[in-house]
Amino acid sequence: MKRVALVTGSSRGIGRGIALQLAQDGWAVAINYLQQKEKAEALVEQLRSEGCEAIAVQADVSNRQAVRKMVATVEAELGPVELLVNNAGVAGQGLFQDETDEQWDHYMGVNLGGARNTIQAVLPHMLHEKRGCILNISSMWGLRGASCEVTYSCTKAALIALTRSLALELAPSHIRVNCIAPGVIHTDMVRGLGEETLTGLVEQTPLGRLGTPEDIAHAAAFLASEKASFITGQVLSVDGGFIV
């Protein structure tokens, strides 16, 4: 039986790594993107060349109607979503006193509202079938405060609360909800911090290196598998020991 996964924000970075791993594990994967159409389609082409089933679907996850349309497209082309990975997100640094209403609403709308929109869109089928898996990608900064990233940290902490609460609500329907809290992962977003900052972050990480998208992908693949069938409501830190 075909297993269908939807990974939001998966044209690059952590999301791309997760989509690749899931496809290699036999999932039919929907690659969601906002603006990076070429990268999303290139990933789909790569996966298909490897014998995997994949499609690219555009949607702003903060837009409820766009998300519903995206899920309908996935269901029509691949089938009902059995695994949802909420990875799409925005990040940035700045003083909290300078935070504007627009910035606050944007972070909340994408990082937290996006997860709500996608979950609500895929839940009807999961509830009907009494099975399914939801993975929320939070951050170690959702477990520990981050100076100059207050709003981002708020959204990631909220995702953890969403995970734990929803896991309890959906457990009677045998739908598992878990969360991954990545540490500093070597992606385009993190490279923008500059070499000096990255060197300092490596020094602060007990395992002595930055994480890779593959590190997060392996954790996601495990939590999505039957090997994790008795795990729900958990937050798995994949951060090299940064916040032990």
Residue 82's CATH number:
3.40.50.720
Reported as a single tens digit per residue, the pLDDT across 151-169 is: 999 999 999 999 999 999 9
Render 74-126 in DSSP notation, one character per residue. Answer: HHHHT-S-SEEEE---------GGG--HHHHHHHIIIIIHHHHHHHHHHHHHH
Amino acid letter for position 176: R
pLDDT, residue 130, reads: 98
For residue 33, what pLDDT band results from cuts at 50, 70 and 90? very high
Q: How far apart are CA 61 and CA 89, in angstroms?
A: 9
In a domain, 244, yes or no: no
Contact status, residue 29 vs residue 11, Cβ threshold 8 Å: no
Check whether 193 has a pLDDT greater than 90. Answer: no
pLDDT, residue 20, reads: 98
In a domain, 63, yes or no: yes
In a domain, 56, yes or no: yes
In a domain, 207, yes or no: yes
In a domain, 241, yes or no: no
Strand order in the sheet with 83-86: 54-58, 28-33, 4-7, 83-86, 132-137, 175-182, 235-238
Displacement of CA 108 from its chain's centroid (Å): 15
Q: Which of 152, 157, 163, 205 is catalytic?
A: 152
Q: Which domain holds residue 126?
A: 4-236
Domain tally for the chain?
A: 1
Contact status, residue 183 vs residue 207, Cβ threshold 8 Å: no
Q: How far apart are CA 144 and CA 128, in angstroms?
A: 37
In a domain, 242, yes or no: no
pLDDT, residue 195, reads: 84
- Report the predicted TM-score, pTM, of the whole model to 2 decimal places: 0.96
Reported as a single tens digit per residue, the pLDDT across 55-105 is: 999 999 999 999 999 999 999 999 999 999 999 999 989 999 999 999 999
Cα separation values, 78 from 45, 53, 73, Å: 16, 8, 8
Ramachandran assignment for 240, one of left (phi > 0), alpha (psi -120 to 50 degrees), beta (any other): left
Contact status, residue 146 vs residue 157, Cβ threshold 8 Å: no
Check whether 2 has a pLDDT greater than 90. Answer: no
Task: Report helix, strand or coil for 12.
Answer: coil
Query: What is the enclosing helix (H) or strand (E) of 155?
Result: helix 150-170
In a domain, 243, yes or no: no
In a domain, 115, yes or no: yes
Is position 152 annotated as part of the catalytic site? Answer: yes
Task: Report helix, strand or coil for 4.
Answer: strand
